[in-house]
Structure 1
Amino acid sequence: MPTPQNAIGSGFGAASTAQDVIHGINLRGKNVVVTGGYSGIGLETVRVLRSAGAKIFVPARDMAKAEQALRDMPDVVVHGMDLLDPASIERFAERVLDTTDALHLLINNAGVMAPPLMRDGRGYESQFSANHLGHFQLTCRLWPALARSRDARVIALSSYGHRRGGIDFSDIHFERRPYDPWLAYAQSKTANALFAVALDSIGRHQGVRAFSVHPGAIITDLVRYMSREQLEAGQIIDKNGDPIIDPENNKKTIPQGASTTVWCATSPQLLGMGGVYCADCDIAEALPSDDSANLHGVRPRAIDPVAAGRLWQLSEQLTGASLD
């Protein structure tokens, strides 16, 4: 049965940190892949999961930056990969499959937010390509190891940015409509949430569960395409340029931002559950309409199983990847 999109009362909250939620969890013998695991909340996710004993693989578009960021964690395995380059995804997955039999956690954390219009080598819009299609292909390629674990979780980093818009199946790559970077971001974040819905419906029969996560609004490299004026207007930074921290209203530190990812990846409270959108270390509230003004919770567009199935089929066509 699908997991209800209702809070379970985890005991954690918006101000909880990744270190808080990992307390008492033992990940020795567990293999983990974290995309974007060398900066921002991805780096914090790696640090905390490693502290619980996990063996971690990190794909890196910028190897020098990754090696510098992870220099104090020499046991973390880093291989090159670019989410916009299907061939590099294949190579990374092959390296992981060659060195580990079972994969217990796949955390699709990397992403890009609101860049100018860019396209990958196939002509696909870059945010949809990197945030969704690259992770879709990676998940499909790592599927044999996920299925062999018989107890795996896949975490897709979504965002409350999905409130800005859903998926335009008639023009996903902005070939006919004017490009809007925030609408494209919203489309990719809706896709991340729908990906978890579809993957969980397929994978739960083989012990693979999937969750999507809203981490919060956090100052990381993700905001590099935003001006200082935009960050101030969005009340992300103050007039001095310092981050505004208000976790109850989505504005979090990096340790707080990584907490829901780590909770979804490791919490025994979620055993037997999956396919839900989570925030603030709990299952988020299902909002009544896509037009809701609430900045918390998840809109119907992001948890619709029909749209999830349609997106899954389209993603197979666009990438040539599948779980078969």
Structure 2
Amino acid sequence: MPSPQTPLPSGFGPATTAREVLRGLDLSGRVAVVTGGSAGLGLETTRALAEAGATVVVPARNVAKARAAVAGLPHVEGRVEVAPMDLLDPASIDAFAVAFLSSERPLAMLINNAGIMATPLTRDARGYEAQFAANHLGHFQLTARLWPALLAAGDARVVALSSRGHQRAGVDFDDPNFERRPYDKWQAYGQAKSANVLFAVGLDRRGEARGVRAFAVHPGVILTDLGQHMTDEDRQAFGLTAADGPGTVPAGRSVAEGGDFKNAQQGAATSVWAATSPQLAGRGGVYCQDCDMAPILPPGAPGTVGVRPHAIDPEAAERLWALSERLTGVRFAG
């Protein structure tokens, strides 16, 4: 039986924009939640979905800042809402979900876009390492709490933002929170990004028969505030100069020129494609890149296009599911 982790091909590519994948689609009457939807790739995702007619709810830690950001979006006619939520605060996740469920709206799209990268060792109130907690555990809890609204949609999709950073590390099930091993910020980031892919695999297995499909997405390499914790040494390793800041594309290194770097419109495209494309009807539990399902990249094989087997291993996905339930105390209802 062929692996579902095989390119279609979709006809799109690295330079495709979010608006291009939505061309001809009308999302009127559909509701999306986009975490981190008021900055960087999230803001472009919010913009594209709202322009196509969707109502987009943006949970944000800084509500005033988020409202100011979305207020600057043209042509969305009040289709963007902002509500408070902090992925490192379980109580605020529950409060956001309760408020959303009280609106009795089916949730057609949940895009778990927010995240942090390469931070110094930080722990949440429970003592969990912050990159694992914010990037994975917070979204695990949010998805579980919004599960009734996803089921009510009948044909919902959940998109987990991963990264080619998943290639750096799998999930250390014996010490996910760096309580016994030395902390390495890039290992922690890789673990969190592998967890995002494994979560999509596990969620899709549980949701397929009930009309909820899940996808993991590598958006590409984009300069946003996600890189705010990178040191000068980190930036030099990526070949970045002082002129290469958030919102820019390094000279001569854009995808249009054969390089790795995308702008925000291109970076949001794969998330939007995974959340909306008719090409993915009947599919799920896969890792997507450049607006297509990515190939499997065997261990040790060089390359940046593709997913490593450790991140789509169904047994690892089940181990992560059990660990996530234990660490959060949250289970999916029904």
Normalising by structure 1, what TM-score? 0.96
1:29 paired to 2:29: yes
Mapping 1:28-107, distance limit 5 Å:
28-73=28-73, 74-107=78-111
Q: 2:50–2:79: 8 Å Cα contact kept in structure 1?
A: no
1:296 paired to 2:305: yes
Q: Which residue identity is paired with 2:296?
A: A
Structure 2 counterpart SS, 1:28: coil
Q: Which residue identity is paired with 2:129?
A: E
Q: 2:44–2:265: 8 Å Cα contact kept in structure 1?
A: yes
Runs of 4 or more off by more than 4 Å in structure 1? none
1:322 paired to 2:322: no
Query: How far apart are the structure 1 equivalents of 2:21 and 2:110?
Result: 18
Query: How far apart are the structure 2 equivalents of 1:3 and 1:209?
Result: 17
Query: How far apart are the structure 2 equivalents of 1:315 and 1:2?
Result: 30
Aligned residue for 2:283?
273
1:111 paired to 2:119: no
Q: Which residue identity is paired with 2:277?
A: S
Query: How far apart are the structure 1 equivalents of 2:96 and 2:203?
Result: 21
Match of 1:128 among 119, 132, 139: 132
Q: 1:2–1:275: 8 Å Cα contact kept in structure 2?
A: no
Aligned residue for 1:16?
16
1:243 paired to 2:249: yes
Moved more, 107-116 or 238-247: 238-247
Percent identity, please.
57
Structure 1 counterpart SS, 2:92: helix
Deviation at residue 116 of structure 1 after TM alignment: 0.3
Count matched residues.
322
Q: Which residue identity is paired with 2:47?
A: R
Aligned residue for 1:146?
150
Normalising by structure 2, what TM-score? 0.93
Query: How far apart are the structure 2 equivalents of 1:217 and 1:261?
Result: 14
Query: How far apart are the structure 2 equivalents of 1:227 and 1:220?
Result: 15
Aligned residue for 1:305?
314
Aligned residue for 1:283?
293
Query: How far apart are the structure 1 equivalents of 2:122 and 2:304?
Result: 28
1:233 paired to 2:237: yes
Aligned residue for 1:177?
181
Q: CA RMSD in A?
A: 1.5
Query: How far apart are the structure 2 equivalents of 1:2 and 1:267?
Result: 22
Query: How far apart are the structure 1 equivalents of 2:56 and 2:42?
Result: 12
Query: How far apart are the structure 1 equivalents of 2:188 and 2:23?
Result: 37
Structure 2 counterpart SS, 1:306: helix
1:127-181 Cα deviation digits (max 9, x unpaired): 0000000000000000001011110000000000011111111100000100000
Query: How far apart are the structure 1 equivalents of 2:129 and 2:166?
Result: 17
Q: 1:193–1:302: 8 Å Cα contact kept in structure 2?
A: yes
Aligned residue for 1:258?
268
Aligned residue for 1:222?
226
Q: 2:54–2:79: 8 Å Cα contact kept in structure 1?
A: no
1:165 paired to 2:169: yes
Q: Cα distance 1:124–1:204, how it changes in 2: closer, same or farther (>3 A)?
A: same
Q: Which residue identity is paired with 1:224?
A: Q
Deviation at residue 293 of structure 1 after TM alignment: 2.3
Deviation at residue 101 of structure 1 after TM alignment: 2.8
Q: 1:3–1:275: 8 Å Cα contact kept in structure 2?
A: no
Q: Which residue identity is paired with 1:266?
A: T
